[in-house]
Amino acid sequence: MQKDTLYERLLSDPPGDDLTLKEVEQEYQPAPRARVPLSLWIFVAFQTALIIFLGAFITTHNRPDCPINPVFPQVLYSPAQEALEYQPKAFKMGLGHHKPIYQQPPSKEVDQAWLDMYNAHGLSQIPKSQARLLPNKTLPIPADPDNYAVGLAVFHQLHCLVWSTSFVASPPH
């Protein structure tokens, strides 16, 4: 359409001078979009952060309590908890010629040292009263239904570590 075309009012429009299309467009501009004030955005962000913080706080402080060691608190019960003794220990970094056996290059002696470590403490037995406190299910020993079989996770993890590193060790021994 041309800008200088005459605009003819409709019958419902009040009588008056005929306007050009350009004048009508200027007269009837859409209202500018309302802007949300910055203070409202800050308020909403603060309220959201507050709700998240309170939710996390309530979630972490309403968990059931487990027996806790005062030196190094544990979240879950472990039958070995009472047997633990904490001793300060300085570990060698394996620099130079005094590397511990576990940091030496792969060999039959190194493999045997790892096997001796995690095979010495494979499965243990605990009474039913302790088995009830465990977070994971365990089974009674078939020959002794009053006791249950358990194993410390660290020894299973050592087994998996040794098994997986045996695939990357080169050359095979």
Cβ pair 23, 30 in contact under 8 A = no
Q: Which residues of the chain have pLDDT under 50?
A: none
Can you give the pLDDT at residue 13? 54
> Counting Cβ atoms within 10 Å, is residue 117 exposed (0-12), middle (13-18) or buried (19+)?
middle
Residue 158's nearest CA partner among 102, 106, 94 is: 102
Residue position matching structure tokens 């010495």: 120
Provide DSSP, 116-136.
HHHHTT--EEEEHHHHTT-SS
20, containing H or E segment: strand 19-20
Can you give the pLDDT at residue 49? 96
Can you give the pLDDT at residue 85? 76
Can you give the pLDDT at residue 94? 58
Can you give the pLDDT at residue 19? 61
